[in-house]
Amino acid sequence: MPSTTPLVPASIDIATNPDSPASHRERVEVQLPGSGVIPKIDVYFLADNTGSMGGIISAVSAQVEDIVNRLVTAASGVGADVHFGVGNYLDMEDPQPNRFRNQVPLGPTPGTVAAGIRAWTAAGGGSTVAEGQFYALDQLAQPPGGSIGWRADAKRIVVWIGDAPAHDPICQAVSGLTYDVTELSVTAKLQAQGIFVLAISTASGGANTGLNADPVPVSGGTVYQSLCGVLGGMAGQGSRIAAATGGEYRDGITPATVVQTIIDLGTAGITTLGNVGLVPDRAIAPFVRVHPAGGFGPFTGAYPATLDFELEFPAATGSPGTPVTREMATQGEVDVIVDGVKTGSTTVKIVVPDLTGKYKIQSTLSDLYLQLDDPNWTGDGANVDQNDYTGLEAQHWELVPVAGGGYRIKNCDPARDRYLEVVGMSYADGTEILTRDDPSGPHKEWLFIPAGASGTTGAVFRIQNLHTGKVLDIQGGSTQRDAPVFQYFYWGDYPSYRENHNQHWRLERI
């Protein structure tokens, strides 16, 4: 888990290329020093404390000092500052405070965590074999600074010990939360917080138990079923969650083997470099592809001094040039993530080059083209819609730059020498876009802001009015011919980028 030195290069400046989907590529080096680790590692012990876990809990409690000392020694050997925490869970039929108990928030004192583990007691449990670990994992998967005590710059590990599958779903009526808890939701939360799960499955619950057992036959308790109704979930919960979070799953563990299993998995989690990857932030993600996409690792023992990544930018060039209008750019970071911890970044700036020229303007959603609604109309006030491309001049548009502003969008039909405008300079969503012969005014100037890029279809833009800040939009998100174009606030990047969108447009130079 070495800390990385500054990325090379520290910054990348490129330009969109509306004329070609060809990619620009940049090599990025991640340097791993010969020694040293992520400075901080958080290890949280979570155990099923229902009645069937007596033998496992007794075995762990009897040797807890050895477990903790061995993990502290492993952390010291790689120069890491390790914090430990302890919690336990029961079934969802148990009283609310007992379903998940955060006994010892993460902290630096080994003696405190040992005392917390010795306080585990095998008692309780509902009328079903299935337990409430998804509720516990949901509560654990919180951001740094909360009640669990995760540190923002620490590798985060959960050592999870249990002998039964989980109820799935845990509905709101049972949990008291404002959302249902499922394997899918828990996995997503753990991944979002960069938490590695080391799952230790025991058979102490009897036949057909363990973290990977089928939850459906063992979930039908009176309280749970009456409130949630659905008996769901699938066998393999433990191994899926471990794999999805980059952790490990061990099955068939007994009281005789549980202590060594905890030591082995915990030591490996502390001392092993699991993955080094590059992750673009939200602003840059639509423009870049990382190779290799999954990063490098795991590394057990020696690892390379330098990891070579390649960033591919479809529909881009490495020569930004000087724009003839106000500069339009998207800027963000590509972060290096080592086992869930950000250790460095390189900044990326993507600018729009000079777009002066004549274009077809295509909706990325419908693949139809911007045109005058009635090609025979020669006066002011012509409506604008989308339609199939037929080669009419009414479907061709000239971008005329305005120094310090944006571009006027002029229809190329000489009999219809008109410019796109927002009617009445209105700020209202849904205002019509028409054409007028007078080119003056910021409501007739448009900013072409990069929205993304594809290796097959090229650069993608949002077309934003300089005056109103609203963008060209297709009414109702329609894919039908003759659907009118109007202005609307830009929502295209929320919650995630979509290339095929009624507010995204491609330029095809004529």
Q: What is the pLDDT of residues 84-112, one digit of tens each?
A: 999 999 988 888 888 999 999 999 999 99
Alpha-carbon separation of residue 108 from 41, 72, 214, 448, 509 (angstroms): 10, 10, 38, 53, 62
Q: What is the mean pLDDT of residues 129-158?
A: 94
Mean of pLDDT over the chain: 91
SS3 of the chain: helix, strand, coil, percent, to 5? 20, 35, 45
Of the candidate ranges 117-131, 242-256, 420-434, 443-457, the one whose mean pLDDT is the lowest: 117-131
Neighbouring residues of 62: CB distance < 8 A, sequence distance ≥ 6 = none
Q: What is the mean pLDDT of residues 56-80?
A: 92
Task: Give start-end residues of each CATH 3.40.50.410 domain in the chain.
Answer: 40-271
CA distance 225 to 227: 5
| Residue-level pLDDT at 319 | 81
- The pair of three-digit structure tokens given for residue 98, joined into one six-digit string: 């007992």
Q: pTM of this prediction?
A: 0.78
Q: Which residue has the higher pLDDT, 206 or 352?
A: 352
| Residue-level pLDDT at 434 | 94
Q: How many helices (H) and strands (E) does the chain have?
A: 10, 26
Q: What is the mean pLDDT of residues 279-290?
A: 96
- The pair of three-digit structure tokens given for residue 219, joined into one six-digit string: 């979930």
CA distance 260 to 250: 12
Q: What is the pLDDT of residues 377-432, one digit of tens each?
A: 777 888 999 999 999 999 999 999 998 899 999 999 887 779 999 999 999 999 99
| Residue-level pLDDT at 227 | 81
Q: What one-character-per-residue DSSP string does 59-125 give?
A: HHHHTHHHHHHHHHHHHHHTT-EEEEEEEEE--TTS-HHHHEEEEEEEES-HHHHHHHHHT------
Residue 205 has pLDDT above 70, yes or no: no
| Residue-level pLDDT at 5 | 62
Q: What's CA 446's distance to the chain center, in Å? A: 32
| Residue-level pLDDT at 4 | 59
CA distance 242 to 265: 12
Cα-based torsion angle of the residue sequence 106, 191, 296, 44 in order, rounded to the nearest 10 degrees = 20
- The helix-helix angle for 110-118 and 54-62 (nearest 10°) equals 150
CATH class name, domain 11-34+275-351: mainly beta
Residue 482 has pLDDT above 80, yes or no: yes
| Residue-level pLDDT at 118 | 96
Q: What is the mean pLDDT of residues 263-272?
A: 89
At 196 the three-state DSSP class reads strand
| Residue-level pLDDT at 314 | 97
Q: What is the mean pLDDT of residues 342-354?
A: 92
Q: What is the pLDDT of residues 49-58, one digit of tens each?
A: 999 999 999 9
Fold for the domain defined by 40-271: Rossmann fold (3.40.50)
Strands, DSSP E only, in 177-244? 195-202
The Cβ of residue 63 has, within 10 Å, a number of other Cβ atoms equal to: 17
| Residue-level pLDDT at 421 | 97
Q: What is the mean pLDDT of residues 106-128?
A: 90
Q: What is the pLDDT of residues 365-392, one digit of tens each?
A: 999 999 998 877 777 888 999 999 999 9
Bridge partners, residue 333, by sequence: 347
Task: Give start-end residues of each CATH 2.80.10.50 domain in the chain.
Answer: 357-509
Of the candidate ranges 72-76, 269-273, 326-330, 444-448, the one whose mean pLDDT is the lowest: 269-273
Neighbouring residues of 400: CB distance < 8 A, sequence distance ≥ 6 = 356, 407, 408, 409, 410, 439
| Residue-level pLDDT at 33 | 64
Reported as a pLDDT band with limits 50, 70 and 90, residue 230 is confident
| Residue-level pLDDT at 291 | 98
- The letter for the amino acid at 39 is P
Reported as a pLDDT band with limits 50, 70 and 90, residue 467 is very high
| Residue-level pLDDT at 417 | 78
| Residue-level pLDDT at 37 | 52
Nearest 5°: CA angle at 424, between 422 and 428?
A: 70
Residue 23 has pLDDT above 70, yes or no: yes
| Residue-level pLDDT at 3 | 58
Q: What is the mean pLDDT of residues 240-267?
A: 95
Fold for the domain defined by 357-509: Trefoil (Acidic Fibroblast Growth Factor, subunit A) (2.80.10)
Reported as a pLDDT band with limits 50, 70 and 90, residue 208 is low
Nearest 5°: CA angle at 332, between 327 and 336?
A: 155
Residue 360 has pLDDT above 80, yes or no: yes
Residue 38 has pLDDT above 70, yes or no: no
